[in-house]
Structure 1
Amino acid sequence: MDHKILQTTRELIDEVGYQDLTVDQVAARAGVGKAAIYRRYASKAEMAFVATVHEQRMPPFTSTGSLHGDLLALVRAFHARMAAPAARQLAPALISELAVNPELEDRFQDTFLATEQACLAEIVEQAVARGELAGPVDPAMAHLLLLGSLASALYILKLPVDDAMVTDLATAAAAGITALADRRPGGPGDAAGPR
């Protein structure tokens, strides 16, 4: 049923656009009750976001063996979803709805953003274990450096983001994360650290 709801949502966004999409349309075409949709998604915006950009669970992360490689693989996967026409259409509407709907904002923070930050925490932990980073970095900051920059480029600045820019984002994020790890107490960049 989940697959049918999400597939139908994608089809309808392609046909009528996000603004004209309704939960009633999705329910009718998918052959499910509206209650079944609302048990899964708090709003039309959340349903459309899951259908077009980001499932609530991310696929298992597979390490490439380097911080830069891991960040590049992650940002490439997100770019493929976030740059799609339906996602570009949905993002401004979702941002607007999050601003006025505290319940949806909490749900968004607790599901999608928490999932992304957990993935970045794993990438950072593996980089620390490999000796690439001097210590841990706040996953929220790593998230901002990598995926926040991608979202800003696509949805606010409306830049033509290609693979060269995606690679540059991963490089910049890796450098920023490394600098933050070096600044931790006792790290190489800490003036009060061991001498």
Structure 2
Amino acid sequence: MDHKILQTVRELIDEVGYPDLTVDQVAARAGVGKAAIYRRYASKAEMAFVATMHGQEPPPVADTGSLYGDLLALVRTFHVRMAAPAARHLAPALMSELAVNPELDARFQDTFLATEQADFAEIIERAVARGELAGSVDPAIAHLLLLGSLAAALYIINLPVDDATVTDLAAAAAAGITALADRRHSDPGRTAEPH
């Protein structure tokens, strides 16, 4: 049933666009009740987000043997999802809904963002174990450096993002994560920049 709902959402977004998408349309075409949809998704925005950006099971985090390589593999995977036309139309609507719906925001933080940050934690742990990083770095900061930059480029600044840009983002994030680890390792009591 989940697959049918998400496939229907993708089809309808392609046909009518996100603004004109309704839960009623999805339920009718997928042959399910609206209650079944609302048991799975708190809102139209969450349902569409899952269908367009997190609908497929993500591949395991690549272990390329380097921090930069792991980050590049991850950002390339996310770029494909985030740059898709449906995702580019949906992201602003989802951001607006998250800003006014604390329950949806909490659910988004606890599911999608928590999963993404767990991927960053795994990448960082491997880099520390390989000796590439002097110590651990907050996965939320690493997430912000890489995927936050990608999201800003795609959804706020509206930059054309190609593989060269993605490669540069991975290099910048790797350098930033390394610098943060070095700073924290050399001064473990330091938690924030002085104001």
- 1:136 counterpart SS class: coil
State the match for 1:24 in structure 2.
24
- Structure 2 unaligned runs (5+)? 191-195
- Superposition RMSD on alpha carbons, in Å? 1.6
TM-score, normalised via structure 2 length: 0.94
- Structure 1 unaligned runs (5+)? none
1:56, distance to aligned residue in structure 2 (A):
8.5
1:54, distance to aligned residue in structure 2 (A):
1.7
Cα distance in 2 for partners of 1:81, 1:146 equals 15
Correspondences of 1:145-184 after superposition (within 5 Å): 145-184=145-184
Q: Which amino acid aligns with 1:130?
A: R
Correspondences of 1:73-84 after superposition (within 5 Å): 73-84=73-84
Cα distance in 2 for partners of 1:56, 1:101 equals 25
State the match for 2:13 in structure 1.
13
Cα distance in 1 for partners of 2:127, 2:38 equals 40
1:57, distance to aligned residue in structure 2 (A):
5.7
Cα distance in 2 for partners of 1:56, 1:178 equals 31
TM-score, normalised via structure 1 length: 0.94
1:137 and 2:132 matched: no
1:59, distance to aligned residue in structure 2 (A):
2.9
Cα distance in 1 for partners of 2:5, 2:20 equals 17
Correspondences of 1:15-94 after superposition (within 5 Å): 15-55=15-55, 58-94=58-94
Aligned-residue identity in percent: 83
Cα distance in 2 for partners of 1:93, 1:62 equals 31
Cα distance in 2 for partners of 1:192, 1:142 equals 20
Once the two structures are superposed, residues 144-175 of structure 1 have per-residue CA deviations (whole angstroms, 9 ceiling, x without a partner) of: 00000000000000000000000000000000
Cα distance in 2 for partners of 1:55, 1:83 equals 14
State the match for 1:98 in structure 2.
98
What is the number of equivalent residue pairs in this alignment? 190
